Structure 1
Amino acid sequence: MHTARQSMSSLIPAVFAVLRCLPLRLLHLLGAGVGWLAWWLSPGLRKRTLENLALAFPQGVPSGLARRATVDAGRALLELPWLWSRPIEDVAARVTEQEGYERVEAVRAEGRAILLLTPHLGCFEAAAQHYGTRYPITVLYRRPKLDVLAPIMESGRLRGLMKAAPADASGVRQMLKALKRGEAVGMLPDQVPQFGEGVWAPFFGRPAYSMTLAARMAEVKDVHVFMAYAARLPGARYRLVIRDLGRPLSGTPEQRVAQINAELEALIRECPDQYLWSYNRYKRPAGVPPPGAVVSADA
């Protein structure tokens, strides 16, 4: 086992070094192939994808959606070496279309801080890096399980006006300071948190252990909440989509988290082909009791 880990630790940087030299268009093409292979070779991935889609589309999953989403997940994986190694300006230049960005500019002009919530939808790396070429943004990250990936990921996110905050108490303090300076903070609100960092709330009709951090950050004075994603387009391009939350969160922590989850559902339905349906969203982290009564987003 130890030898296998050592081999993996030496192999991954070598693979990244090769992949980052390839054109993004080719990486997307290769990634589609990786996605196809994963679909056919991994019964577990296939099962989880189909189960999650059945929850989101109880009236019937659109034909071919599961395979299309798995193919796009392969693109998401193979584009990372390019996104993390190229100049941040090159990444931002790939964002050739925008929708809703004028609201971000308007909120910034009012001197308010911005909370950008980006689920596992499209290319969230491109969304954050595009913003980071213009304005300061602090992004929350969780250290990868493979230690060898940590410096690669961190160097890819500490560029331009971007800063990275670890998913711990020091990272929370870092993000709070950024918001109080009137800057932006970005995070993946559909990431399963650890014990004590979440509550059970509905997500596509099923209880999901969901982070409370986004709801807490939204309570900071003069913070405006946006939902965002960068959809992949033909020709290795991206379309940045910004959705204004439009209303403050309210109620108990469980109710506020449920409101965020409802907004995430609406966002994902806009571009379901590019959501990571294979993500184990409904797992119960160690130490977390099973869900009890789950509140409604309309409560």
Structure 2
Amino acid sequence: MACRMPRRIGEVLARLLGRIAGRLDSDRRRMVERHVRRTVDPDLAGRALRRSVDTVFASYAEYWYRSFRLPEMTPAAIEAGFTHEGYERIVAARRTGVGPIMAMPHLGSWEWAAFWLARVEHVPVSAVVEALDPPELLAWFRSLRTSVDIDVITLGSTAGAEVIRAVRQNRAVCLPCDRHVGGVGVEVEFFGETTLLPAGPATVALRTGAALLPIAIYDHADGCHGVVRPAIPTERLGRLRDDVARVTQLLADEIEGLIRRSPKQWHLLQPNWPSDLLPRPVAGSAD
């Protein structure tokens, strides 16, 4: 159905359904409200807060709509809808023979960029994904990505070894890094509060010499725009544990800056900081 209707109509409908879903899911809405206050304005309230939260849910629904359309899009259509800055950093990283770690937040239609790399630039791509419920959804995402030769690495006990193998094969690895979902975490300051972020990106970069590139994808009406930031310094300065902590904090700072460029496109609907698990006064709610 997503591929049959005109794209503009589909996107409008997806955003409308996203807003409706956001109004019906009160628990996630309250969580998004917290994140919007953290990333946009701590004093946001009333109508302005409601509109901002609605925009997050609309953006998330549009992400899904675009994901459903991607397998049917031609390479020419994917290229026509994608602009970028800093792509030369990915090219330079691959010239070393070790593929880059493309550390990304859950922001915008990041899979569009992965498809662009694989289908337009013919760069071998691996993507690390969370295990999803129901399992059929994970299977669909896996088939979506493998259909264009994107290798899928599911988070789990073997993911680290698979990522190391991928970069040593000079594959570009998409690695979401804006929230901790299991495994080893590192304490960082992120949007003004201490929380855990995954240790994987820094650990792999330090062990393999892979370039650690902070990257974000921003949606717009005609497609999306990719931003590739300079590589995080990953020279060994001491114990591996200390280096991982230092590099992860540098990465957190970069990811925060990328999110702040368009915080309402950040698809974070889950708790991400210790204070997210504490009750919040109802006054000023976006419900």
1:265: Cα distance to partner? 0.3
Match of 2:60 among 59, 73, 82: 73
CA distance in 1, matches of 2:252, 2:164: 22
CA distance in 1, matches of 2:175, 2:132: 15
1:20: Cα distance to partner? 4.0
Match of 1:261 among 238, 246, 252: 252
CA distance in 1, matches of 2:274, 2:21: 21
Opposite residue 107 of structure 1, the aligned amino acid is A
| Structure possessing the higher relative contact order (Cα contacts under 8 Å, 6 or more residues apart) | 2
1:136: Cα distance to partner? 0.7
The farther-off stretch of 51-60 and 117-126 is 51-60
Partner of 2:19: 36
1:95: Cα distance to partner? 3.4
1:119: Cα distance to partner? 0.8
Structure 2, gaps ≥5 residues long:
276-287
* TM-score normalised by structure 1 residue count: 0.78
Q: What SS is found at the alignment partner of 2:216? A: strand
Partner of 2:158: 170
Note the alpha carbon deviations across 1:3-51, whole angstroms, 9 max, x for none.
xxxxxxxxxxxxxxx3343343333211110122133223222211121
Cα 1:88–1:252 shift into 2, 3 Å: farther
CA RMSD of aligned residues (A): 2.5
Structure 1, gaps ≥5 residues long:
1-17, 285-299
Report sequence identity in percent: 18
Match of 1:150 among 138, 141, 157: 138
Structure 1 residue 95 and structure 2 residue 81: aligned?
yes
Opposite residue 56 of structure 2, the aligned amino acid is A
Structure 1 residue 229 and structure 2 residue 227: aligned?
no
1:122: Cα distance to partner? 0.7
Q: What SS is found at the alignment partner of 2:180? A: coil
Note the alpha carbon deviations across 1:174-204, whole angstroms, 9 max, x for none.
221121122211111113322x422332221
Structure 1 residue 82 and structure 2 residue 75: aligned?
no
Note the alpha carbon deviations across 1:60-85, whole angstroms, 9 max, x for none.
449443332222122112322212x3
Match of 1:46 among 5, 26, 29: 29
Match of 2:126 among 122, 133, 138: 138
Write the mapping of 1:1-299 to structure 2, written as runs, cut at 5 A. 18-57=1-40, 60-61=43-44, 63=48, 64-83=51-70, 85-86=71-72, 89=75, 92-133=78-119, 134-194=122-182, 196-235=183-222, 237-248=223-234, 251-282=242-273
CA distance in 2, matches of 1:200, 1:106: 31
Q: What is the aligned residue count?
A: 264
Cα 1:33–1:143 shift into 2, 3 Å: same
Q: In the alignment, is the contact (CA less than 8 A) between 1:165 and 1:172 conserved in 2?
A: no
